[in-house]
């Protein structure tokens, strides 16, 4: 399981999470750090329903090309629907571990909260290195779930919940590993930033973290007691709420 891919309405979840101001902020920063030039070919691996493709297309201009690749047919279908009639945006099915693109065919690339789910994140980074031209830029963004902190007087439930999340995302600490893994496959890392995505209201925290859904799974898996989980969620939903985790953004050059 994963804290987000397990959402029943995955497209709805991605849209809602992307609309949170903190997400808008890091997405804008990572796109700016790519220094996209008019006419560039820009790749978004694991593009989801096309969350960031319009932003990339704006930067690449009318002579540019944006390629969105995703392994999930539902995402490919939705992104294709959203960008119908926009020939500069190309949506392709494909696996990040074996990109369906020729060597040195891309000027700029991004990968946003995808590596955390992959069986082999370094293989995907090697693929990005292969398809980027020399001097091409890559922006990566991933969380570190070991840093997840939720405030509540029931600290045992807070810790058990955070541990459950970290243990159930395939590469739960890939955020802190991005710079090392990118260097290992041949990139030069230009910039590493770590910010805390901090939520002070339950609605935003719920939108990104799926607290109710994940707590229900933790109860099902015997990690949280049902009564304690329910009381914990009620307090978070009605009282002051604080939940956050460290989020890494890394820019590297081919
Ligand atoms: C958390 S979503 C992020 C989507 C988008 N980047 C965004 O920021 O909204 C992860 C995306 O990675 C895709 N994905 C997962 N495994 C993949 C793989 N092996 N190759 C390509 N895409 C993959 C999923 O289908 C999903 O759309």
DSSP string, 58-78: HHH-TT-EEEEEES-HHHHHH
Q: Residue 156 gets which letter from DSSP?
A: H
Q: Is 114 in the pocket of ligand 1 (CB under 6 A)?
A: yes
Which phi and psi angles does 56 have, rounded to 5°?
-70, -40
pLDDT of residue 17: 83
Ligand 1 pocket member 169 (CB < 6 A): no
CATH number at residue 75: 3.40.50.150
Give mean pLDDT, residues 149-153: 97
Q: Is the pLDDT of residue 240 over 50?
A: yes
Which residue puts its alpha carbon closest to atom 14 of ligand 1?
Answer: 46
Question: How far apart are the C-alpha atoms of 240 and 96, rounded to whole Å?
Answer: 40
Listed in sequence order, the DSSP H helices in 34-154 are 53-60, 73-82, 121-131
CA atoms within a 13 Å half-sphere pointing along the CA-CB vector of 108: 23
pLDDT > 50? residue 135: yes
233: in domain: no
Residue 238 lies in a domain: no
- If you take atom 4 of ligand 1, which residue's CA is the nearest one? 48
Axis crossing angle, helix 155-168 with helix 226-238, rounded to the nearest 10: 100
pLDDT in tens, 166-194: 999 999 999 999 999 999 999 999 999 99
- For residue 142 and ligand 1, the question of a CB distance below 6 A is answered with no
Number of domains forming the structure of the chain:
1
Looking at the predicted structure, is the pLDDT value of residue 210 above 60? Answer: yes
Could you tell me the pLDDT band of residue 10, with boundaries at 50, 70 and 90?
confident
Residue 141 CA: nearest ligand 1 atom is 8
State the residue range of the domain holding 106.
10-145+170-197+247-253
Whether residue 44 lies inside any domain: the answer is yes
Residue 4 placed within a domain = no
Pocket lining: 108 vs ligand 1, CB cutoff 6 Å: no
Q: Is the CB of 18 under 6 A from ligand 1?
A: yes
Q: What is the mean pLDDT of residues 196-212?
A: 93
> Is 85 within a domain?
yes
- Whole-model pTM? 0.93
Average pLDDT value over all residues in the chain: 95
- 206 domain residue, yes or no: no
Has residue 162 been placed in a domain?
A: no
Q: Ligand 1 center to residue 135 CA distance, Å? A: 25
Q: What confidence tens digit (pLDDT) does each residue in 24-76 have? A: 999 999 999 999 999 999 999 999 999 999 999 999 999 999 999 999 999 99
Q: Look at residue 203 and tell me whether its pLDDT is greater than 60.
A: yes
Calculate how far, in angstroms, residue 155's C-alpha sits from the geometric centre of ligand 1.
32
* Tens-place pLDDT, residues 73-89: 999 999 999 999 999 99
Q: Is 78 in the pocket of ligand 1 (CB under 6 A)?
A: no
Distances (CA, A) of 41 to 32, 98, 105, 169, 208: 15, 19, 8, 31, 30
For residues 24, 26, 27, 30, the Cα torsion angle rounded to the nearest 10 degrees is 160
Kindly state whether residue 137 falls inside one of the protein's structural domains.
yes
**pLDDT above 50 (res 1):** no
d(CA 214, CA 7): 9
């Amino acid at each position: 399981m994963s804290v987000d891919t397990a959402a029943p309405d995955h497209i709805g979840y991605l849209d809602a999470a992307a609309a949170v101001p903190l997400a808008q902020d890091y997405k804008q920063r990572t796109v700016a750090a790519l220094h996209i030039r008019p006419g560039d070919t820009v790749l978004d691996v694991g593009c989801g329903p096309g969350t960031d493709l319009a932003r990339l297309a704006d930067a690449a201009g009318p002579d540019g090309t944006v390629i969105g690749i995703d392994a999930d047919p539902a995402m490919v279908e939705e992104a294709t629907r959203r960008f119908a009639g926009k020939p500069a945006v190309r949506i392709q099915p494909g696996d990040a571990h074996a990109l369906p693109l020729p060597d040195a065919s891309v000027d700029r690339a991004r990968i946003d909260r995808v590596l955390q789910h992959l069986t082999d994140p370094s293989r995907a980074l090697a693929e990005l290195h292969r398809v980027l031209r020399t001097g091409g830029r890559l922006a990566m963004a991933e969380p570190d779930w070991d840093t997840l902190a939720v405030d509540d007087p029931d600290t045992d439930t807070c810790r058990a919940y955070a541990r459950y999340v970290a243990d159930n995302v395939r590469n739960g600490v890939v955020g802190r590993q991005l710079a090392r893994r990118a260097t290992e496959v041949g990139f030069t890392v230009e910039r590493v930033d770590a910010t805390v995505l901090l939520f002070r209201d339950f609605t935003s925290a719920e939108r990104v973290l799926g607290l109710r859904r994940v707590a229900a799974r933790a109860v099902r898996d015997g990690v949280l007691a049902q009564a304690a989980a329910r009381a914990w969620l009620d307090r978070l939903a009605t009282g002051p709420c604080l939940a956050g985790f460290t989020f890494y953004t890394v820019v590297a050059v081919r």
